[in-house]
């Protein structure tokens, strides 16, 4: 860089600094002039309201900060489940779109065109009110095996609570799994596996590790289940109580967000597969690989390199659009924090800033993870 | 665009911003409204009884009458720009000067008054948080709601009231919290919840035209006292006085027996000195507020007294005045004296 270029950059930085300073100063000045309280002490005050879905204990006596965590966990749960569902559905749609079967590929195309072109908020409203109206009332619930119940108050499934010491058992299982994973890596290195071509070769090296894991799993499961207690939802005056409840809001959001975003994922998957030279399929065919294995072992790993970067964008969009949940009473961050809490304490500037910062942080985490994964699977040129 | 024009656009934009901020801080609300030629009144849309649109496309309702009251006092005429707001946006819009007044049911509470940079302009309605339930659930009083799922709308003190009430009585409930009252009511209607809670009067208005209205019951009890008052910004005491005294004109008119129909006759013939001061015959009271002396006359001419407003907006919903009657009839409303 020349001195002149450096001077320009310093000047630019200075201007940006001044603008930020002025905006922050003016905002604070205006808030003070209007007599708006401006500190984040409100986070430690008593919340005084209830939240409909909570993954950690919470009641009206908890702090507002805890309410924020509850809401954030709800957001993350919704995002995670929706991302998984959208990915599975999107993969299926993308492959179906490429199918040689005319009807299947047309159906997939029709699905994409319809659901991609309707705003996702509208789809969420649609699913929500469709779900609410079509499901029966609590007294006429659809029951499965007398322990799972579905009605317009949600899906009620039994919950399992384990006896004391369950974290130790889970930790032991995880350790066992880690050990097996390590052993298998060693094993692969030793045999420098041509596993890609003949997956059956794996069976030639039956190390004891697998059996060990299975044994450990069985023992662990028995110990776990011995101390476990099953809570089955039971009917009360106002519908079912107990067990795990999936709110209709949650179900319809998962359906709405997955179906909408699956259209994009489907197209990305299709572009990924289309980008692979035809020769690859033909080579696999000539080796006599069945269709299923061709997709899994030849096409998919190569398509993934094209798929991951645009997929990151879709995941980020999906994560951000979980905020649409505020429209149908799912208690996520925007609904609880920007809605209820802001109303309570009336500090829109801070509340907005905190909420936005959290979204930015989590989005960046998602992007960082996928970028790391992308680099990991990228083609490395051997010289 | 080349670099120079981008820079100059940015610069002029910034200058404009700074200038706008300066101006907002400088001129009083009354002057701004006069200069603009109309009042910017924040309203909540589709709340029958309070704010709705009638068959001929006109905005009608209790809140709309409050907007008209202020407009009549300033202009002697109805010149209003209605700005639809939601509970999410209203405090910010008021603080930033986008609306001049927000008349709709904001409960006058300590925290709101002292921490939002806003001021209240006198109680105009005593409301309360009530519940609507389905008759076939056999809930007849609040105590029967232990364990119920309850649809709530955000945006007021509703969420806290219900949490306070249920915990004080050792009862449990599951909230389903909507940002929007109508979505919450819709969900209750679709049997998502056992009960819906909101301000009792507005709930009565909203469910009045349900086809199966008779299958729903509005419980008699209320769990909160909600004194409703209009909100204005805190940094303009003159503007708050205008709003407070304009609203008070309607109570005074009712106590004096002046209504929309007889206001002209009373103005010409009444020998009562206070009525003469009120209607601007003498005393010059309007000028002291920065208004014309016949400000109160225009309010009564265009909007009427408190009873006119009630008969027009709430009586058709079958709601009696109760606590909202004049103190002479055993209610809580009492006019501040014009002297």
Among A130-134, A250-254, B182-186, B294-298, the minimum mean pLDDT is found in A130-134
H helix or E strand, kind and range, residue B80: strand B80-84
Q: What is the mean pLDDT of residues B250-279?
A: 93
User: Tokens 């909202």 correspond to what residue?
Assistant: B324
Interface residue A338 vs chain B (CB under 8 A): yes
Spell out which residues of chain A touch residue B191, defining contact as CB-CB under 8 Å: 132, 137, 152
Residue A35: pLDDT over 70: no
Among A44-48, B102-106, B154-158, B327-331, the minimum mean pLDDT is found in B154-158
Do residues A348 and A209 both lie within one domain? no
User: Quick one: what percent of chain A has pLDDT higher than 70?
Assistant: 87
Among A51-55, B21-25, B216-220, B295-299, the minimum mean pLDDT is found in B21-25
Interface residue B159 vs chain A (CB under 8 A): yes
Alpha helices (runs of H) in A275-347, residue ranges in sequence order: 278-286, 291-293, 300-321, 333, 342-345
Task: Name the band, by pLDDT with cuts 50, 70 and 90, for residue B10.
Answer: very low
Mutate to test the interface with A, among B11, B85, B115 (most CBs of A within 10 A): B115
Q: Residue A368: inside a domain, yes or no?
A: yes
Q: Distances from the Cα of B40 to the Cαs of B37, B90, B92, B231, B292, in angstroms?
A: 10, 13, 14, 13, 20
Residue B17: pLDDT over 70: no
Among A49-58, A320-329, B5-14, B292-301, the minimum mean pLDDT is found in B5-14
Q: Residue A156: inside a domain, yes or no?
A: no
Question: Minimal Cα–Cα distance from A293 to chain B, Å?
Answer: 47
Find all residues with CB under 8 Å of A290, minimum gap 6, and list them: none
Window A:258-317, CB contacts with B under 8 Å: none
Task: Name the band, by pLDDT with cuts 50, 70 and 90, for residue B19.
Answer: very low
Q: Residue A52: inside a domain, yes or no?
A: no
Spell out which residues of chain A touch residue B95, defining contact as CB-CB under 8 Å: 34, 36
Interface residue B191 vs chain A (CB under 8 A): yes
Task: Name the band, by pLDDT with cuts 50, 70 and 90, for residue A141.
Answer: confident
Q: What is the mean pLDDT of residues B173-181?
A: 89
Backbone phi, then psi, for A217, in 5-degree steps?
-60, -45
- Residue B32: the pLDDT is 93
Do residues A118 and A252 both lie within one domain? yes
Question: Do A34 and B88 make contact, defined as CB atoms within 8 angstroms?
Answer: no
Question: Do A35 and B234 make contact, defined as CB atoms within 8 angstroms?
Answer: yes
Boundaries of domain holding A180: 166-226
Q: Residue A117: inside a domain, yes or no?
A: yes
- Residue B121: the pLDDT is 92
In tens, the pLDDT along A220-269 reads 777 666 667 777 888 877 888 777 888 899 999 999 999 999 999 999 99
Q: Which of B117, B175, B183 is opposite residue A50, by nearest beta carbon?
A: B175
Nearest to B231, CA basis, from B329, B89, B134: B89
Residue B21: pLDDT over 60: no
Question: Do A152 and B192 make contact, defined as CB atoms within 8 angstroms?
Answer: yes
User: Quick one: what percent of chain B has pLDDT higher than 90?
Assistant: 55
Do residues A182 and A128 both lie within one domain? no
The answer to whether B328 and B306 have CB atoms below 8 angstroms apart is no
Question: Do A49 and B160 make contact, defined as CB atoms within 8 angstroms?
Answer: yes
Residue B89: pLDDT over 70: yes
Spell out which residues of chain A touch residue B107, defining contact as CB-CB under 8 Å: none
H helix or E strand, kind and range, residue B5: helix B3-26
Q: Is A154 left (phi over 0), alpha (psi -120 to 50) or beta?
A: left
Q: Residue A232: inside a domain, yes or no?
A: no
- Residue A314: the pLDDT is 95
Q: Residue A29: inside a domain, yes or no?
A: yes
Question: Minimal Cα–Cα distance from A260 to chain B, Å?
Answer: 22
Do residues A74 and A120 both lie within one domain? yes
Closest-CA residue of A relative to B177 is: A329
Residue A31: pLDDT over 90: no
A189 burial level (CB within 10 Å; 0-12, 13-18, 19+): exposed
Question: Do B151 and A329 make contact, defined as CB atoms within 8 angstroms?
Answer: yes
Q: Is B191 left (phi over 0), alpha (psi -120 to 50) or beta?
A: left
Interface residue B192 vs chain A (CB under 8 A): yes
Q: Residue A317: inside a domain, yes or no?
A: yes
Do residues A283 and A183 both lie within one domain? no
CA distance A302 to A220: 38
Task: Name the band, by pLDDT with cuts 50, 70 and 90, for residue B196.
Answer: very high
Do residues A279 and A334 both lie within one domain? yes
A30-69 core/surface letters (b: 16 or more CB in 10 A; e: else) = bbeebbbbeeeebbeeebbbbbbbbeeebebebebebbbb
Q: Residue A27: inside a domain, yes or no?
A: yes
Spell out which residues of chain B touch residue A336, defining contact as CB-CB under 8 Å: 177
Residue A273: pLDDT over 60: yes
Interface residue B42 vs chain A (CB under 8 A): no
Alpha helices (runs of H) in A227-297, residue ranges in sequence order: 248-274, 278-286, 291-293
Do residues A362 and A266 both lie within one domain? yes
- Residue B156: the pLDDT is 63
Question: Do A346 and B91 make contact, defined as CB atoms within 8 angstroms?
Answer: yes
Q: Which of A61, A238, A343 is opposite residue B147, by nearest beta carbon?
A: A238
Residue B20: pLDDT over 50: no
Interface residue A344 vs chain B (CB under 8 A): yes
User: Tokens 């979980």 correspond to what residue?
Assistant: A322
Q: Which of B137, B149, B159 is opposite residue A153, by nearest beta carbon?
A: B149
Closest-CA residue of B relative to A54 is: B174
Question: Do B178 and A328 make contact, defined as CB atoms within 8 angstroms?
Answer: yes
Do residues A70 and A28 both lie within one domain? no
Interface residue A37 vs chain B (CB under 8 A): yes
Do residues A253 and A302 both lie within one domain? yes
- Residue B15: the pLDDT is 41
In tens, the pLDDT along B93-136 reads 998 889 999 998 678 888 788 877 889 999 999 988 899 999 98
Question: Minimal Cα–Cα distance from A21 to chain B, Å?
Answer: 14
Question: Do A339 and B167 make contact, defined as CB atoms within 8 angstroms?
Answer: no
- Residue A191: the pLDDT is 58
CA distance B241 to B251: 16
User: Beta strand pairing status for B148-153 and B195-199?
Assistant: parallel
Question: Do B87 and A343 make contact, defined as CB atoms within 8 angstroms?
Answer: yes
Window A:226-265, CB contacts with B under 8 Å: 236-239, 241, 247-249
Q: What is the mean pLDDT of residues A27-49?
A: 78
Do residues A256 and A354 both lie within one domain? yes
Query: Which tokens is B193 given?
Result: 């919840």
- Domain of A111, CATH number, reads 1.10.3720.10
Interface residue B236 vs chain A (CB under 8 A): no
Do residues A257 and A116 both lie within one domain? yes
In tens, the pLDDT along A145-172 reads 878 888 888 888 888 776 666 677 777 7
The answer to whether A115 and A260 have CB atoms below 8 angstroms apart is yes
Find all residues with CB under 8 Å of B262, minimum gap 6, and list them: none
Spell out which residues of chain B touch residue A331, defining contact as CB-CB under 8 Å: 177
From A195, A226, A257, the end of a domain falls on: A226
More confident residue, B116 or A16: A16
ipTM of the complex, rounded to two decimals: 0.73
Question: Do B177 and A52 make contact, defined as CB atoms within 8 angstroms?
Answer: yes
Q: What is the mean pLDDT of residues B195-209?
A: 88
Cα A96–chain centre separation: 23
Provide the domain count of chain A.
3
Residue B3: pLDDT over 60: no
In tens, the pLDDT along B313-334 reads 988 887 778 889 999 998 899 9
CA distance B290 to B308: 27
Do residues A121 and A191 both lie within one domain? no
Nearest to A111, CA basis, from A135, A128, A129, A95: A95
All domains of chain B in start order, with CATH: 38-127+227-321 (3.40.190.10), 129-224 (3.40.190.10)
Question: Minimal Cα–Cα distance from A229 to chain B, Å?
Answer: 24
């Amino acid at each position: 860089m020349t001195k002149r270029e450096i001077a320009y950059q310093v000047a630019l930085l200075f201007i940006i600094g001044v603008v930020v300073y002025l905006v922050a100063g003016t905002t604070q000045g205006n808030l003070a002039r209007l007599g708006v309280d401006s500190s984040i002490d409100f986070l430690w005050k008593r919340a005084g309201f209830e939240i409909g879905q909570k993954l950690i204990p919470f009641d009206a006596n908890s702090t507002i900060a805890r309410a924020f965590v509850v809401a954030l966990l709800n957001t993350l749960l919704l995002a995670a489940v929706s991302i998984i569902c959208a990915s599975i559905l999107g993969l299926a749609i993308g492959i179906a779109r490429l199918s040689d079967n005319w009807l299947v590929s047309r159906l997939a195309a029709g699905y994409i065109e319809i659901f991609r072109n309707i705003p996702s908020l509208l789809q969420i409203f649609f699913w929500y009110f469709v779900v609410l109206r079509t499901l029966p009332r609590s007294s006429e619930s659809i029951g499965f095996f007398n322990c799972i119940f579905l009605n317009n108050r949600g899906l009620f499934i039994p919950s399992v609570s384990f006896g004391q010491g369950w974290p130790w058992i889970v930790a032991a299982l995880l350790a066992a799994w880690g050990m097996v994973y390590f052993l298998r890596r060693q094993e692969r290195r030793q045999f420098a596996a041509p596993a890609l071509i003949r997956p059956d070769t794996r069976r030639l090296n039956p190390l004891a590790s697998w059996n060990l894991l299975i044994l450990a799993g069985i023992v662990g499961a028995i110990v776990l289940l011995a101390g476990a207690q099953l809570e089955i939802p039971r009917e009360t005056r106002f519908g079912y109580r107990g067990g795990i409840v999936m709110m209709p809001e949650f179900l319809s959001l998962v359906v709405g967000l997955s179906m909408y975003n699956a259209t994009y994922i489907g197209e990305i998957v299709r572009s990924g597969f289309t980008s692979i030279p035809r020769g690859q399929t033909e080579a696999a065919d000539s080796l006599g690989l069945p269709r299923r294995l061709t997709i899994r072992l030849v096409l998919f790993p190569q398509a993934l390199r094209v798929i991951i970067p645009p997929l990151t964008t879709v995941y980020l969009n999906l994560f951000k659009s979980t905020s649409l949940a505020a429209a149908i009473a799912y208690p996520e961050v925007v609904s609880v924090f920007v809605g209820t809490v802001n109303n309570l304490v009336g500090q829109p500037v801070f509340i907005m800033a905190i909420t936005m910062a959290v979204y930015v942080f989590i989005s960046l985490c998602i992007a960082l993870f996928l970028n790391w994964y992308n680099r990991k699977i990228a083609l490395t040129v051997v010289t | 665009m080349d670099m120079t024009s981008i820079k100059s656009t940015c610069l002029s934009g910034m200058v404009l911003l700074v200038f706008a901020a300066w101006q907002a801080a400088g001129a009083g609300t009354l002057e701004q409204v006069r200069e603009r030629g109309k009042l910017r009144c924040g309203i909540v849309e589709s709340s029958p009884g309070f704010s709705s649109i009638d068959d001929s496309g006109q905005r009608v309702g209790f809140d709309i009458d409050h907007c008209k009251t202020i407009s009549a006092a300033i202009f002697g005429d109805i010149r209003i720009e209605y700005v639809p707001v939601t509970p999410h946006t209203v405090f910010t819009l008021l603080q930033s000067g986008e609306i001049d007044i927000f008349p709709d049911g904001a409960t006058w509470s300590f925290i709101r008054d002292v921490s939002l940079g806003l001021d209240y302009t006198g109680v105009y309605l005593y409301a309360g948080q009530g519940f609507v339930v389905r008759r076939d659930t056999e809930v007849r009083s609040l105590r029967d709601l232990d364990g119920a799922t309850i649809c709530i709308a955000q945006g007021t003190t509703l969420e806290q009231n219900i949490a306070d009430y249920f915990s004080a009585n050792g009862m449990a409930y599951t909230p389903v919290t909507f940002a929007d009252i109508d979505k919450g009511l819709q969900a209750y209607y679709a049997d998502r919840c056992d009960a819906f809670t909101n301000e009792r009067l507005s709930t009565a208005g909203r469910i009045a035209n349900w086809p199966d209205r008779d299958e729903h019951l509005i419980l008699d009890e209320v769990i909160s006292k909600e004194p409703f008052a209009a909100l204005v910004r805190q940094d303009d005491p003159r503007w708050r006085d205008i709003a407070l005294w304009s609203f008070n004109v309607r109570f005074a008119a009712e106590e004096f027996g002046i209504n929309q129909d007889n206001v002209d006759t009373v103005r010409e013939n009444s020998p009562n000195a206070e009525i003469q001061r009120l209607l601007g015959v003498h005393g010059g009271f309007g000028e002291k507020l920065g208004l014309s002396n016949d400000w109160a006359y225009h309010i009564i001419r265009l909007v009427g007294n408190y009873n006119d407003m009630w008969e027009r907006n709430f009586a058709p919903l079958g709601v009696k005045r109760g606590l909202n009657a004049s103190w002479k009839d055993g209610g809580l409303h009492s006019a501040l004296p014009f002297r």
